[in-house]
Structures are given as C-alpha cells and as structure tokens.
Structure 1
Amino acid sequence: MSSTFAPESHFITARDGLRLHYRDYPCPAATRLPFVCLPGLARTADDFCLVAEAAQQSGRRVLALDYRGRGRSEWDKDWRRYNPDVEEEDIFAVLADAGVARAVFFGTSRGGLHTMRLARARPGLISAAILNDIGPVIEKKGLLLIKGYVGKMPPLQKMSDAAALMRLTASVAFPAITPEQWEIFARQTFEERDGKIALRYDPELAHTLDDITPECEVEDLWEAFAALAQHPILALRGETSNILSIETFAEMARRAPRLERHTVPGQGHAPLLLDQPTIERVMQFLNKQD
C-alpha cells in the first residue's frame, strides 16, 4: 500500500474562459495508470471521496472532476453550454493540465455516458472503465423522475433538514442507506451559503432536461458503447434502478465479453459509493488492471 497524500484542488481556465475545478489525489510513486472519476448530471467530485482514497492507497493517482456549473467550478452564464460536447472539451482540458494521456475511467450516470463517448472520440485514452448505474439505453421513466427534482428544492435552513428531505424523498429507492450515509449524501448535494442551504450546482442545469417528455425518443448509445466494449468494464447497477434496466444490463454483458457485472443491493440510481462492499468490488476490479 502507498502512503496517502492529501487531495489537492486545482483550477484551470476552459477554452471559453470559464474556471474549472478538479481534485487531484497524488501518488508520487505510482506505477499504475491514473484513475479518472466523472460524476453524474448534478453531482460533484466529492461523490468519489471514499473510492478515490482507496484507489490512491493502492498506488494510483486519482482525478475527480467538477463539470462546469457544479461543485467548485464556475457557473456558465449560458445553460446551453451544459452539454456533452462542451463538457468533454473541459474533460480533455483537465487531462491535459494533469498530464494524463491514458487512464482507467469511472463514470457515474452522465459520467458513464461521457466515458462511452470518450472511448469513441479518442481511442487509446481509456484502458478500462467502471460504469455506475448507466448503460447505452436510458429508461425514460427514470429521466422523467430526474427532471422532476433537478434544480428544485424547498427552503431549507440547516443541513439536517436537507438530509431529512433526501431521506423522505429517496428512501424507497435506497432502503439500505444508513442515517450516517444520508448525512454524507446531503453534504455532497447541498452547501451552507449565506445562512441558508443551497444546491451545489447551478439550478439552470434543469433546462438540459427540457426536451425529456413522455412522448420523446431517447437516443441510445450502443455505437459509443461498442468502442468501450473492447476494454475491461465493471458495470454497477443499483438493485432498484429506474435508469439502467435489468434487460440493458444483460445486453451489455452480451455485447462486451470482458464486462463484469455487480448489483448494489438496496440502492437505486445511482449507488452512492459509500458502502464498503461496493468499494471493495470496485477495488477488486481496479487492482486487476494494468
């Protein structure tokens, strides 16, 4: 096991001038490929804190990104730039700043979609991948539920209220989450600002889901997945997920012979990466790479 170095926050300027943040878990004596963590739509680098520490201790440098408009990255004045193409330019800018040309990628939800697209756009960048509750087919029912809460929240005065709200609204899909984990998840989702509880992302992100309606067609990403399928993959699925169906989960394994599957019991979309069994399963896969 390597020595643990405290994570460092780095800021860079995107091509359009926006200030971007990423967290770097250094490992000066690393002999293994870096580990790049990409969060979900309205999520941040903090979602990967426990996984990143475990990977760092195993001898890898870890990068965890805040997309524009999330976490410590600057909010964009035009929500239309919260789109995959622009975000992937930002990802490439972060990788260039960090000096990373090849890595193992870990993508939660939207981060997994980025991982598939990056495999197609830049062959050689990804050596292996972990996909957290996402596949080439996204269930419309789940997208409509996400649309119902992204960017919306009642007035909250303290973090315990935020944890109680999350537990009230999501406990059916996440029966396995402990009170302590709800507290952690609340702190990863909200922050105290000017004496009130605020979202840790730009509420304008909600507009990226404007086109999601009961009548819309959701484009699949099987073509992009095919580019990733030549690599080792660990696919995680929350047992109660409404985004990644059991059928798509099985079809992914059929199309990618090197894919391993793991179901996270008692969690929905997306598994929180706070429980030890899931972290151990991720590390089991990660330690086989390189």
Structure 2
Amino acid sequence: MTGAAVGESEAGSYRDAYFVNRDGLKIHYRDYPGDSSKPPLLCLPGLTRNMRDFIEFAELHSPRFRVILVEFRGRAGSDYDPVPARYNPMTYAGDVVELLQHLEVPGAIFVGTSLGGLVTMVVAATAPQLIVAAILNDIGPDVDPAGIGRILTYVGRDPRFKDWDEAASTISGNYGSAFDRYTHDDWVKMAKRNCREENGEIRFDYDMAIAEPFKNAGATPQPDLWPLFTALAAKPLLVVRGEKSDLLTAETAARMQSAAPQMRLAVVAGVGHAPELNEPEAVAAIDELLGTLG
C-alpha cells in the first residue's frame, strides 16, 4: 500500500487507499466496512467512469456488507498507463485479481457496470474461485453496435466546461433521451461523478488514451464472449438491464436467460445505459440476490 486515508459517509467510516500493481501503477480503491462473515461487494465501473458511481450503492449496503470500490488504471485517482494498449479488459481483470490478493479477500460478490461487467466475465473464466456471485449492470456477451457507435462519438475527446451546468448539458447530449426520469439536477450530479475541476475548468476524469484500444477494436474481429458468460453463469447471477439500453438488448438478455436458467433479470423502466442501481427495480432485485447469499 502506498497511501491511505479515512473518510466519513452516511454508512460510517471508509478507507481510501492504493496498491501498486505489476506494472508499477498505483490503483485507487475505497473500502467501506462490513460484516466480515460475508463476502464483500466489489464494484467495477464503466469505460469512462470511476468509483463515484458506486458511492450511493456503498452507503446503501455497508455495513451489512463490506463494499470495495475500484478505479481502473487511467481513471480518477488511479495512475494513467503510459502504454495505452494495456487499457483492455484482460489487463483490468489482472488488476482486480491483484487487488483481492492484496486485501487477502478469497472471494467477492462482483458488481460490474458495462466495462466492469466484461471484466467480471474475464475473471469468471480466468480465476472463477474469486467470484462468489455477480451482478452485471447493463452488459452481456453481445454488445449492440448502436451503443458502441454512440460511445465512440464522445470517448477520448477532452472538452473543457466553464461550469457544471455546461458539463451536465454535454453529458445529457451524449446519452440522448435514454433517461426519462432525469432532471437537469440529475445530470449535474452525473457530471460531478464523471468530471473533475482543474485550473478553473471542468473536464472528464479519465485518461483520454483509454479510447485508443477501444476505437482500434472496431477494425479487428470481435472475440466470442459467450464462453466467458458461460463461466459466470455457474455462479449466482443477477443481470440488471435498462429498458432503453442501446448496449444490452432485450434479445441478448433473453438469450442470456436461456443460457443461464437460474439467472435473475431485472429491467429498469425508462432508463438506458446504464442504470444507477438505486432505482426501485434494481434495489429490490439486488436485495433478493444478496438475501440468498446469507
């Protein structure tokens, strides 16, 4: 560990800390206290996102569960990688395995949003003993090209905003009309999770180089992710899908259900990619899954 700090939340104290991975990069994580007799919840964010997406989730579930929030390399408090080609799910999965080893956690309940869900599937195929159960948030082994196309319109660009209202308007535009429930204040809250203040400006809080392998992937044949999902399907599994998602289609979700009959599926109405996991449909489904795990 290269540093740690203790903070306070509605759930009580938490610890912000770092570990140094095999590539010499500091990876930031936040650790909320919880019942040591239960496996912790391990939260993995989306492509351009960070641990702030899971703070409300952590405060909801700690201290009934220990909750660990991870920031992938190149995001927010974690070091940027000087080799952009390493920004890929296999590398992130290796970092997650190293973190659990660092914390001496033998197994966790993985909660993966979008990219975080892909990383969860990689871990299921490479280190299945580490996954006690999983929650995939709006992601599956098939990703709709329409959603990829939308993400490509903004990922890796580095606009600067004069205030949070301007940032909120831009982010709202990136998501189109996929969130019926959102007011302008909700978009401001999302902007504050996505962005940071720097030198009197507001900018997105990730290394723009994460876009390089993501964009280059379009020129190569896409790997078949169904074997990874099949590995994960052996675990207790919940899939949360936004009703208006342009990444996880209803057809793919139905195929996942057929491949994993014990899988729970929760659909969040009026929401696109990706649910925040604080919606009543998501909260009820997550509580049901966690209840089955004791």
- Report the TM-score when normalising by structure 1: 0.92
Q: How does 1:1-290 map to 2 (within 5 A)?
A: 4-27=11-34, 29-57=35-63, 59-213=64-218, 217-290=221-294
The alignment partner of 1:100 has SS state of: coil
Q: CA deviation at 1:216?
A: 5.6
Given that 1:159 and 1:192 are in contact with CA atoms closer than 8 Å, whether structure 2 keeps it comes out as no
Given that 1:105 and 1:115 are in contact with CA atoms closer than 8 Å, whether structure 2 keeps it comes out as yes
Q: C-alpha distance in 2, partners of 1:120/1:216?
A: 22
Q: CA deviation at 1:175?
A: 1.6
Higher relative contact order (CA 8 A, sep 6+): 1
Question: For structure 1, which segment, 149-158 or 109-118, has the greater mean C-alpha deviation from structure 2 after superposition?
Answer: 149-158
1:16-63 CA distance string (max 9 Å, x none): 111110110112x43211111111111111111111112214x21111
Given that 1:55 and 1:283 are in contact with CA atoms closer than 8 Å, whether structure 2 keeps it comes out as no
**How many percent identity over aligned positions?**
37
Q: C-alpha distance in 2, partners of 1:223/1:169?
A: 32
Q: How many residues align?
A: 285
Flag structure 1 segments of 5+ consecutive residues without an equivalent. Answer: none
Question: For structure 1, which segment, 253-262 or 77-86, has the greater mean C-alpha deviation from structure 2 after superposition?
Answer: 77-86
Q: C-alpha distance in 2, partners of 1:249/1:104?
A: 21
Structure 1 counterpart of 2:54, which letter? Answer: F
Which 4+ runs in 1 deviate beyond 4 A?
none
Question: For structure 1, which segment, 235-244 or 165-174, has the greater mean C-alpha deviation from structure 2 after superposition?
Answer: 165-174
Given that 2:266 and 2:281 are in contact with CA atoms closer than 8 Å, whether structure 1 keeps it comes out as no
Q: CA deviation at 1:196?
A: 0.5
Given that 1:177 and 1:266 are in contact with CA atoms closer than 8 Å, whether structure 2 keeps it comes out as no
Q: C-alpha distance in 2, partners of 1:51/1:237?
A: 17
Q: C-alpha distance in 2, partners of 1:280/1:178?
A: 23
Q: CA deviation at 1:207?
A: 0.6
Given that 1:231 and 1:258 are in contact with CA atoms closer than 8 Å, whether structure 2 keeps it comes out as no
Q: CA deviation at 1:276?
A: 4.4
Pairwise CA RMSD: 1.8
Given that 1:143 and 1:212 are in contact with CA atoms closer than 8 Å, whether structure 2 keeps it comes out as no
Instruction: Identify the residue that residue 5 of structure 2 maps to in structure 1.
Output: none
